[in-house]
């Protein structure tokens, strides 16, 4: 009997130990889940007293490529005594707003909705100029590797970098379509195209101006496709994703057999703060408008930067963020050109 009693006690302690271990693992798992959506630490090198710093985005989207072109354009045009511009890679809209508020950058590219939300808590946020629309381009694996594919697929996918507006949009799309569960997996930026091309992930979310190289490479070299939402889904998504509009990617845009794709788009703006010199902002506005006429031949996104008064006012109303004093100065001098030039655009 004593021996049985000892065995029972040992068994009880063993069960207690197992329960403690399982509970610990569960807590660790929950923490990991939380870490996956936590803010990414801001890049430590985004400050300089000798540069006018522009916050851009990651290399998958439009911000970084466009920012580097603007950096060169501004620097090639600026007066010798005007300092210099430097475009830095960031995680995009959300990071750029934080960097502006902490005075580590002077200008940042951001979605209109992110700028709008930032202004509600920080009245110093200002719009310099509307930019292109970011188009939601949801890449799906090749059809021969995933027959009868239904979004979001049977395995986890790439929703965007942590702390990015792309990831936020992905989550809002899932919520709008009532898709429950955890669908994201961390994928290094440089591996996204191959992962989706080999069907190792269920989807890859790209939110960027068009055309986008990542999307083009996936479609042309790996025979991937794009998710097209139906009209009901589009309405649900637009109601969920602030400032978004319906958008159609024409058939054959990326390659001959690509069908028409129904999706959404979100307007972007170049933002700064009221602390930045009006003279500098007026110069940036002037050079941005001039640059769009030339840079569109090097990067198609610049072709869609609005230069007519109707489009500009529409985006500014949707954004609800005041223009910087430097932009107002520029408009005072050039508004007649915006309103009266041929086709509603700027005169050369």
Give the domain CATH number at 81.
3.40.190.10
**Same-domain pairing of 70 and 150:** no
| Parent domain of 31 | 1-36
**Same-domain pairing of 234 and 144:** yes
Q: Looking at 229, 247, 266, which one is the last position of a domain?
A: 266
Q: Looking at 266, 296, 317, which one is the last position of a domain?
A: 266
How many whole angstroms separate alpha carbon 259 and alpha carbon 228?
9
Residue 9 domain-assigned (yes or no):
yes
Task: Kindly report, residue by residue over 289-348, the tens digit of the pLDDT.
Answer: 888 888 888 888 888 888 777 777 777 777 889 999 999 999 888 877 665 554 444 433
Q: Chain-wide mean pLDDT for the chain?
A: 84
Q: How many structural domains are present in the chain?
A: 3
What pLDDT sits at residue 33? 39
**Same-domain pairing of 128 and 138:** no
ω into 345 cis (within 30 of 0) = no
**Same-domain pairing of 114 and 158:** no
User: What residues form DSSP beta bridges with 126?
Assistant: 272
**Same-domain pairing of 207 and 226:** yes
Residue 186 domain-assigned (yes or no):
yes
ω into 72 cis (within 30 of 0) = no
Segment (H or E) for 141: none
Other beta carbons less than 10 A from residue 284's beta carbon: 28
Task: Kindly report, residue by residue over 203-225, the tens digit of the pLDDT.
Answer: 999 998 888 999 999 999 999 99
**Same-domain pairing of 182 and 101:** no
What pLDDT sits at residue 70? 93
How many whole angstroms separate alpha carbon 124 and alpha carbon 122?
5
**Same-domain pairing of 128 and 275:** yes
**Same-domain pairing of 86 and 235:** no
Residue 46 domain-assigned (yes or no):
no
């Amino acid at each position: 009997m004593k021996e049985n009693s000892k065995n029972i006690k040992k068994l009880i302690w063993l069960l207690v130990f197992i329960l403690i271990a399982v509970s610990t693992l569960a807590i660790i798992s929950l923490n990991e889940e939380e870490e996956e959506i936590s803010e990414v630490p801001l890049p430590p090198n985004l400050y300089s007293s000798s540069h006018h710093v522009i916050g851009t985005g990651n290399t998958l989207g439009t911000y970084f490529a466009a920012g580097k072109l603007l950096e060169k354009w501004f620097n090639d045009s600026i007066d010798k005594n005007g300092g210099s511009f430097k475009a830095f890679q960031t995680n995009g809209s959300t990071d750029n707003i934080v960097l502006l508020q902490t005075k580590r950058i002077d200008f940042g590219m951001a979605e209109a909705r992110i700028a709008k939300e930032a202004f509600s808590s920080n009245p110093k946020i200002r719009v310099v100029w509307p930019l292109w629309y970011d188009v939601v381009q949801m890449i799906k694996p090749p059809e021969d590797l995933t027959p009868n594919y239904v979004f979001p697929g049977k395995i986890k996918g790439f929703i965007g970098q942590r702390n990015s507006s792309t990831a936020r949009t992905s989550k809002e799309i899932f919520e709008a379509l009532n898709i429950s569960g955890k669908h994201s997996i961390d994928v290094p930026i440089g591996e996204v195209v191959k992962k989706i091309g080999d069907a190792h992930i269920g989807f890859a979310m790209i939110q960027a101006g068009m055309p986008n190289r990542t999307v083009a490479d996936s479609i042309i070299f790996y025979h991937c496709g794009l998710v097209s939402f139906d009209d009901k889904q589009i309405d649900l998504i637009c109601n969920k994703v602030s400032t978004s509009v319906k958008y159609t990617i024409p058939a054959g845009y990326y390659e001959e057999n690509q069908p028409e794709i129904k999706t959404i788009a979100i307007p972007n703006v170049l933002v700064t703060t009221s602390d930045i010199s009006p003279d500098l902002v007026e110069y940036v506005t002037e050079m941005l408008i001039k640059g769009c006429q030339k840079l569109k031949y090097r990067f198609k996104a610049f072709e869609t930067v609005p230069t007519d008064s109707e489009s500009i006012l529409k985006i500014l109303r949707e954004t609800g963020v005041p223009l910087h004093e430097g932009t107002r100065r520029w408009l005072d001098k050039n508004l007649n050109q915006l309103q009266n030039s041929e086709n509603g655009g700027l005169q050369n």
